[in-house]
Structure 1
């Protein structure tokens, strides 16, 4: 229990650094990193020789242009395909984990769009590197719009796959969007809960009040500067690790900051959120209506040793049947980002094929 408390404190500290640390002005280097959409094509996985990938774009309900990759099986026959919209993890881009998932699903007979959320990656929206429980939920529905008008997609057989923070967004989208017939999430985060209440709900009312006070003061600074400030500190570089960090810190660094998962446009690899990014998550709970997803099925997947496991367990408790919670023995949070020998793709395939009908 003491180790858990220590890990909780360190995780909360890391979260606060990433979300609250700020500068009065954005540096030239940060601007170059955030606005770089001309990066040479770089994916953290190999495209299957059984799959095609095509860059696509579509607009969400707010007029923001989203950019995604459409993955299709080369041998898809003549019948319209079941389809999936995929995004996540929080702070990642489509060339990372969501693309890997899409590539795998396409091999198994699905039409899949993996997309960059609004204000991130190659998608539109200003300022850059902003997240929103509302707009990012809408991004999923916009992807469903896109899939449903494709002639090779059966719009009655459409689902969502959400990873990490976009697991929570995906569940929120499914609750409101009855077109979604099934949803699966992996290493799910409830970003509104962790932002508003801290990890393991450890934030005190005084800390919450202080955080809101700081965010309000930062808005004055941004207004005076005419542009938003950005976080001054994100994940440490691999060489900065001492070895004493909790597993989750090592896991994030090992994925986002090494060849395994690094991508130039990924916020977690090469940037930071705006200093006021936490604001909208502070009082807009994502999973308020999770019980209204029923009778559409939910599959929730989490690692046995993941620091985020409690989000999945609590979402499972809040949801109505039909639902399933799958705990992967020995797995940690980031194992479900890209480790194909850990991610239960056979289970995911059978779940969606059984329920997208």
Structure 2
């Protein structure tokens, strides 16, 4: 495992290679780190540590998401805030995205992305400042689902929280509010199969258009909210595929074919905190995950918040609750 102190860049480089969508807390340090998952993919992360803590046995939290984002966006913002509250935090880019390894680019996998959380736990548990018996994980958006999936079998994870969660497998297979028919899903499988032959013939992965740019006026409101985050100065990052790219045209098939929350009950007796916005289009993912889980569990609905409010709106994200949840359960 490799750790290197973040180097200073020129102003030009700061806007590209080292651009963060939030300001580093004055009571927190940030270091670039790398570590490998069990598939041999090198993951890139930022390790945040509280500067005013001299003790070695810190509790720690691994953080990733949203789906299609990078660590310089929402996950880093959460890590920054939680480090200021006394936790060692690791915000990381999932496999095949951001600065993490894996080819081809911009693909996801319910298996590999679940493994990415366990690899982050590997890294944290070997760090000299961290108590390996006090490690939790936090997943944002689509990585909320992957975090729950990781926590079920990985008993080293002592507590798991999700914020503005998506169940990517369910959403991809069934559509929003489970509206997709079997016929529609079969048609998608056929299209993906045809695309695979095209890609295999060209020996090159194909990608769709950058979906959040140049939205039509009749785009759904939640899609406009995504664009308001990813394509503006509020949240844009050049390495984020939601800001500046797209998933591969064959990406959906593995998520469609692999339900990720089948074993959610086996997280118990370790605690779960699920956070969702009252007005989020995605709230039903959190509600049904909460229903499927067993105690100890808690569902916190943030008043008047939409899905993307919980990406970066510090006045709406319940950091006090996250702090108390992890303090109580990482002991």
Q: Does the pair score TM above 0.5?
A: yes
Residue 282 of structure 1: which of 220, 235, 256 is its match? Answer: 256
Rounded to whole Å, the distance in 2 between the matches of 1:356 and 1:252 is 33
What's the offset of the Cα at 1:233? 4.1
What's the offset of the Cα at 1:282? 1.3
Rounded to whole Å, the distance in 2 between the matches of 1:181 and 1:232 is 40
SS of the residue aligned with 1:327? strand
SS of the residue aligned with 1:176? coil
Rounded to whole Å, the distance in 1 between the matches of 2:315 and 2:210 is 33
Determine the structure 2 residue equivalent to 1:62.
Answer: 39
Rounded to whole Å, the distance in 1 between the matches of 2:49 and 2:264 is 30
Contact preservation (8 Å) 2:210, 2:244: no
SS of the residue aligned with 1:57? strand
**Could you report, residue by residue, the CA deviation over 1:191-210 in whole angstroms, capped at 9, with x for unpaired residues?**
00011111111111110110
Rounded to whole Å, the distance in 1 between the matches of 2:276 and 2:138 is 14
What's the offset of the Cα at 1:303? 0.3
**Could you report, residue by residue, the CA deviation over 1:80-136 in whole angstroms, capped at 9, with x for unpaired residues?**
100000000000000000000000000000001100000000000000001000000
Residue 66 of structure 2: which of 43, 67, 89 is its match? Answer: 89
Residue 102 of structure 1: which of 62, 76, 79 is its match? Answer: 79
**Could you report, residue by residue, the CA deviation over 1:49-95 in whole angstroms, capped at 9, with x for unpaired residues?**
10000000000000000000000000112241000000000000000
What's the offset of the Cα at 1:338? 0.3
Rounded to whole Å, the distance in 2 between the matches of 1:177 and 1:43 is 31
**Could you report, residue by residue, the CA deviation over 1:194-229 in whole angstroms, capped at 9, with x for unpaired residues?**
111111111111101100000001100001011110
Rounded to whole Å, the distance in 2 between the matches of 1:120 and 1:212 is 24
Rounded to whole Å, the distance in 1 between the matches of 2:249 and 2:219 is 24
**Could you report, residue by residue, the CA deviation over 1:291-339 in whole angstroms, capped at 9, with x for unpaired residues?**
0000000000000000000000000000000000000110000000000
What's the offset of the Cα at 1:276? 0.2
**Larger helix share, 1 or 2:** 1
**Which consecutive segments of 4 or more residues in structure 1 shift more than 3 A?**
none
Determine the structure 2 residue equivalent to 1:72.
Answer: 49
TM-score (norm 1): 0.87
Rounded to whole Å, the distance in 2 between the matches of 1:158 and 1:59 is 18
What's the offset of the Cα at 1:241? 5.0
The structure, 1 or 2, with the larger RCO (C-alpha pairs under 8 Å, 6+ apart) is: 1
For the pair 1:273 / 2:247, whether they are aligned, the reply is yes
SS of the residue aligned with 1:193? helix
Rounded to whole Å, the distance in 1 between the matches of 2:58 and 2:81 is 15
What's the offset of the Cα at 1:287? 0.3
For the pair 1:219 / 2:196, whether they are aligned, the reply is yes
For the pair 1:122 / 2:99, whether they are aligned, the reply is yes
Residue 209 of structure 2: which of 228, 232, 242 is its match? Answer: 232
RMSD: 1.1
What's the offset of the Cα at 1:231? 1.0
Rounded to whole Å, the distance in 2 between the matches of 1:102 and 1:222 is 38
Contact preservation (8 Å) 2:56, 2:128: no
For the pair 1:314 / 2:288, whether they are aligned, the reply is yes
Determine the structure 2 residue equivalent to 1:144.
Answer: 121
For the pair 1:341 / 2:315, whether they are aligned, the reply is yes
SS of the residue aligned with 2:226? helix
What's the offset of the Cα at 1:247? 2.4
Rounded to whole Å, the distance in 2 between the matches of 1:211 and 1:245 is 22
The aligned length equals 317
Rounded to whole Å, the distance in 1 between the matches of 2:79 and 2:234 is 17
